[in-house]
Structure formats: structure tokens, C-alpha cells
Structure 1
Amino acid sequence: MRIGLLGTGPWARVAHAPALSGHPDVDFAGVWGRRPEAAGELAAVHGTRAYDDVDALLADVDAVAVALPPAVQAGLAVRAARAGCHLLLDKPLAPTVEEGLAVAEAAEEAQVASVVFFTTRFQPEAEAWITEQARRGGWFTGRVHWLGAVFGDAGSPYAASPWRREKGALWDVGPHALSVLLPVLGEPRRVTAAAYGPGDTVHLVLDHAGGASSSLTLSLTAPPAAAGAGVELRGDAGVTVLPESSEGVVPVLGRAVDALLTAARTGVPHACDAGFALRVTRVLATAEASLRGGGRPS
């Protein structure tokens, strides 16, 4: 599979480009970015071609990996799908439900495979745990903390990201938390959100269709020493926690590439396709509406 990369920022440099150039089953065919000079530099590092015209890249490849802000990703993903390219996308899928729906519909209409990189879902131990807890059922409640130090660490390359500044932890780390909870506890019937705490810290309470509840604390403003993620479930089987992983992002992203290859070859959608990412986007949008409404259930 010939695959191109859309994006040249820090995430593209540390994750996507190394994962694509090192993957044995794809041909890393080129890079396009909104800054042509950055595309040239990144392409040179990985021995591939820089494209000035995104449509020229789409015409030359079978798939694209996107490492761009969600509002930019959504429009280009639709464009790529209509050009017949399979999609390896980042979270969140889009900044609004309408834009996310456009991506999911474009992928379905073009019959291209899509995989959205919810990092935890491509860590083998975590994915096995999620599958087992979904099979087991009988959960009473879940508790999540997903705390980043992006805004608390002056050295973070993501601290100046305009979309993270605008959308905050809800849209940046919220998708990771929801990607773990939704397969286990099911869709939420009601979502309440409140902005209590420093910076962009938000708290969500979800009433899931299966009867369980969950609470989430999300932040990008945590002190570096306090950063980290954890998921705890309590139910008929007792208490269980999401296993931690120390694996680097490049091999984890490589598994997402594997998933895209499999979905493209078999025609069987992956569990983390654009349709699932759209479900996550709906919850995020509902939580955002709750915040605007003063924390009332919606």
C-alpha cells in the first residue's frame, strides 16, 4: 500500500513519519503540509517526496495518514475518501458532529477503510482488557482520570497548539477516555459536564444505557509530576483497572497501520473506524453543550 502523510507538525515528526517509514508493509510515498518548507524537511529525513499540491499526493497513493488539527483533518479526510484513499486519522475525528458525520459518510460512500488512532486501543494489553470487560459485563460504575501536562510543562511542543488552546482537554484527552469506556459500558443516555479546577480541567458524569454510570476528570493543565491516566471499573466481578503500557507511540501507531491494511484488504470495518469516532464526537459535543449550559444534563 502506498501511503502519504498529511501534516508536518510535532505529532507528524515524532509519531506518523517514523511509523510509516519503518513499516515493512507500506510504501511511505510522500508528505504534504500547509508549510511547504516543513514538508520538504520532513520528507528529506525519511527519504520520501514532498508534495506542494495535496490533490497530487492523493492521486499518487492508496491511503493517507493525517496529523493535522481536527478542523483541517475533517475537510481533507472527506477529500481523500472521495479520491479513493483509505484513511488513517487522528482523534478527535472532527470539531463538530456535522463535520464528523461528513467524514464517516464520505468513507462509507467511497467504500474506503478508516482507522482512527485512539492510542490505548492499539496497545495489546489494554485492548485485551477492554474486550474482556465488555464480555464480562455487570458493571456498576467506572471512574477515569486522564491528566496531561501540556499546559503545565513549558517545554511541551503542543502547548501553543491553537486547537488545544481552544478545545482543551475535553477534546484532546477526552477521546482517549471515551474510547475505553464506550465499548465496555455502552452509549451514554445523559451527559453532564462541569469546568471545575485549574485551567482547562473538566469533569464529566455519564449515565450509560446499560444502567452503569461513569465519571471522568480530564485536564491538560496538570503538573508534570501529577500527569497520567487511569481507568477503574467496579461491578459484579469486583474491581479492575486498565493495565498500563510503557510502549512508545511509534510501534503502537504501527499497529494502527496494520489495522488499516487489514480493513482495506478484507472490507471488514475496524472497531475504531470513523463511525466509532463519530460516536465519540457526539459525546464530546454533548458535554460541550452541557458546559455552555452551566453543567445541566443533556
Structure 2
Amino acid sequence: MRVGLLGTGPWARATHGPALAAHPGVDLVGVWGRRPEAAAEAARLLDTRPYADADALIADVDAVAVALPPAVQAPLAARAARAGRHLLLDKPLATTVEAAREVADAVEAAGVRSLVFFTLRFAPAAARWIAEQAATGDWFTARADWYGAVFPPDDGTTATSPFADSPWRRDKGGLWDVGPHALSVLLPVLGDAVEVHAARGPRDTVHLTLRHESGASSTALLTLSAPPQAAGVTVEFRGAHGVAAYPQDLGGSATDALTAAVDALVSGEPHACDARFGARVTEILAAAEAALD
């Protein structure tokens, strides 16, 4: 499959690019970025060609992989779908409901394949654990807490995360960056969210409360501003079967998970994490943001 990479930031360089370049079923045709010098450097590292125009790269490939801010990703993804290109997208799909639905509608109208890269849904061991909890069913409640330490505390500490300089993360915070991860675990196990509430915590922290179509409820604490000593992920489901806690050693590397996503895209097999699911996650996040406002 001829694939073009749209994006040259830390996530593209560390995850998308290496996974695509090493995949035996992929010909990485080229890289486009918003800064030509960054595209040239990424292309050199990945042994491929830099493109000065995104549409020219889209025209030369069968599929595009996108590692761009959501506001940039969504219109490019819709254009690529209308051009008949399969899509490997990042989360969140978009930061407005209208933009997310536009992508999903374009995918369905063109009949192309789409995947949104929710890391735990493609990391093989984590995906199996999520599927096991969904098969068990009859859960009473759940929580999925993501304590990210992307932004340093207000004490002069220097940021160490490569994503600390990301303008869209500073603007949208934990709700939009790690909220998709939480929803990607809760929704397949408990069902769609039929009620959404949210409250603010320190800095960018959001406390999300959901009622699901199964009747279960869930909570999620989402932040990119946790003290480094408090960073981490906790997921658990509670019900008549007892407590199922997510084992911390199941995640694997992001590159391995992305390789599994590329496997799924190349194979042509449908996956639950498609553009329509990505749009639904955007709808829930937008509802939470409205509740905060």
C-alpha cells in the first residue's frame, strides 16, 4: 500500500514515521508538513521524499497517515477521503462536531477505509483485555483516569515532554488529549454515553461523569498538568464479577500499537475505531466542554 505521511511533529517522528517506514506492507511515498524544512528533515530520516503540497502527496498514494493537530487533520482527512484515499488518523478526530462529522460522512460517501489511532485499542494485549471486559458485561460502574504530566507545575520547572509546546494541547487540555483514550476504553465495554456531565479541577483538569446505555455509570479524571510523581493511568470496572483493573504492563510501545493499526489498514478488515467512532468521541467531548462552559 502506497502511504503518505502528513505531519512532522514529535508524534510523527517518534511513532508514525518509524512504524510506516518499517512496515513490510507499506511503501512510504513521502512526507508533507506545514514547515518545508521540517518535511525535508523528516523525509531524510525516513528515507523518503518531502512534498511541498499536501494535495500532491494525497494524489500519489493509496492512503494517508495523519499526525497533525485536530483542527488541521480534519479538513485534510475529508479531502483525502473524497479523493478516494484510505485514512489512518490520530485522536481526537477533530475539536468540533461539525468537522468530525464531515470526515465521517466523506469516508462513508467515498467507501474508503478509516482508522482512528486510539493507542490501547491497537496495542494487542491491551485490546484483548478491553475485549474480555466487554464480553464479561454486567458492569455496575467504572473509572478511567489519565494523569498526564505534559505541562510543568508553575514553579519554574522546565518541561520535559516533547508535547509541552503543543498549542492545541495548551488550548484544549486533558479533556481533548487524553479524554479520547478514556472513552476508547469505556465505550466498548459499557456502551454509548447517553448522559454527559463535567466539572473543572486544578489547571486543565476535568472530571467527566457518564451514564451509559447499559445502565452503568463511569467517571474519568483527565489532565495534562499532574505533578510528575502523580502521573499514570488507572482503569477499572466493578460489577457482580468483582473488580477488573487494567494491568499496567499491557500497553506495550506506541510504535508497536501503530504497527498493528497499519496491519489493520493494509488488511482491509473493518475495525470498530473508524471515523464514525472518532466522530462520536468528539461529540461526547464537545458535550463535556459545553457542560463546563
Give the TM interval when normalised to the shorter protein. Answer: over 0.9
Answer yes or no: is the 8 Å Cα contact 1:125–1:243 preserved in 2.
Answer: no
Answer yes or no: is the 8 Å Cα contact 1:187–1:208 preserved in 2.
Answer: yes
Answer yes or no: is the 8 Å Cα contact 1:3–1:26 preserved in 2.
Answer: yes
Q: Which letter maps to 2:235?
A: V
Q: Secondary structure at the match of 1:151?
A: coil
- Separation in structure 2 between the aligned mates of residue 141 and residue 282 of structure 1, nearest angstrom: 22
% identical aligned pairs: 64
Q: CA deviation at 1:262?
A: 1.9
Residue pairs, 1:97-246, within 5 angstroms: 97-152=97-152, 154-196=159-201, 198-244=202-248, 245=250
- Separation in structure 2 between the aligned mates of residue 127 and residue 166 of structure 1, nearest angstrom: 30
- Separation in structure 2 between the aligned mates of residue 200 and residue 180 of structure 1, nearest angstrom: 21
- Assess, with a 3 A threshold, how the Cα gap between structure 1 residues 177 and 246 changes in structure 2: closer, same or farther: closer
Residue matched to 2:292:
291
Residue matched to 1:276:
277
Residue pairs, 1:13-92, within 5 angstroms: 13-92=13-92
- Separation in structure 1 between the aligned mates of residue 124 and residue 246 of structure 2, nearest angstrom: 12
Q: Which letter maps to 2:226?
A: A
Answer yes or no: is the 8 Å Cα contact 1:119–1:253 preserved in 2.
Answer: yes
Answer yes or no: is the 8 Å Cα contact 1:202–1:219 preserved in 2.
Answer: yes
Q: CA RMSD in A?
A: 1.0
- Separation in structure 2 between the aligned mates of residue 35 and residue 142 of structure 1, nearest angstrom: 43
- Separation in structure 2 between the aligned mates of residue 92 and residue 242 of structure 1, nearest angstrom: 22
Answer yes or no: is the 8 Å Cα contact 2:124–2:260 preserved in 1.
Answer: no
Q: Secondary structure at the match of 2:30?
A: strand
For residue 261 of structure 1, the aligned residue among 244, 256, 266 is: 266
Q: Which letter maps to 1:273?
A: D
**Deviations along 1:227-262, whole A, 9 cap, x unmatched?**
111111000111101222352211111001011112
Q: Secondary structure at the match of 1:105?
A: helix
TM-score computed with the length of structure 1 as normaliser = 0.94
Q: Which letter maps to 2:178?
A: V
- Separation in structure 1 between the aligned mates of residue 200 and residue 240 of structure 2, nearest angstrom: 32
Q: Secondary structure at the match of 1:45?
A: helix
Q: CA deviation at 1:74?
A: 0.1
- Separation in structure 2 between the aligned mates of residue 131 and residue 274 of structure 1, nearest angstrom: 20
Answer yes or no: is the 8 Å Cα contact 1:190–1:208 preserved in 2.
Answer: yes
Residue matched to 1:2:
2
Answer yes or no: is the 8 Å Cα contact 2:126–2:251 preserved in 1.
Answer: no
Q: Which letter maps to 2:33?
A: G
TM-score computed with the length of structure 2 as normaliser = 0.96
- Separation in structure 1 between the aligned mates of residue 223 and residue 160 of structure 2, nearest angstrom: 17
Q: CA deviation at 1:286?
A: 0.6
- Separation in structure 2 between the aligned mates of residue 124 and residue 157 of structure 1, nearest angstrom: 25
Q: Secondary structure at the match of 2:140?
A: strand
Answer yes or no: is the 8 Å Cα contact 1:70–1:94 preserved in 2.
Answer: yes
- Separation in structure 2 between the aligned mates of residue 142 and residue 41 of structure 1, nearest angstrom: 44
- Separation in structure 1 between the aligned mates of residue 22 and residue 194 of structure 2, nearest angstrom: 42
Answer yes or no: is the 8 Å Cα contact 2:123–2:251 preserved in 1.
Answer: no
Q: CA deviation at 1:269?
A: 2.6
Structure 1 unaligned spans of 5+ = 293-298
- Separation in structure 1 between the aligned mates of residue 10 and residue 81 of structure 2, nearest angstrom: 25
Residue matched to 1:296:
none
- Separation in structure 2 between the aligned mates of residue 47 and residue 204 of structure 1, nearest angstrom: 43
Structure 2 unaligned spans of 5+ = 153-157
Answer yes or no: is the 8 Å Cα contact 1:142–1:213 preserved in 2.
Answer: yes
Q: Secondary structure at the match of 1:109?
A: helix
Residue matched to 2:155:
none
The size of the alignment, in residue pairs, is 287
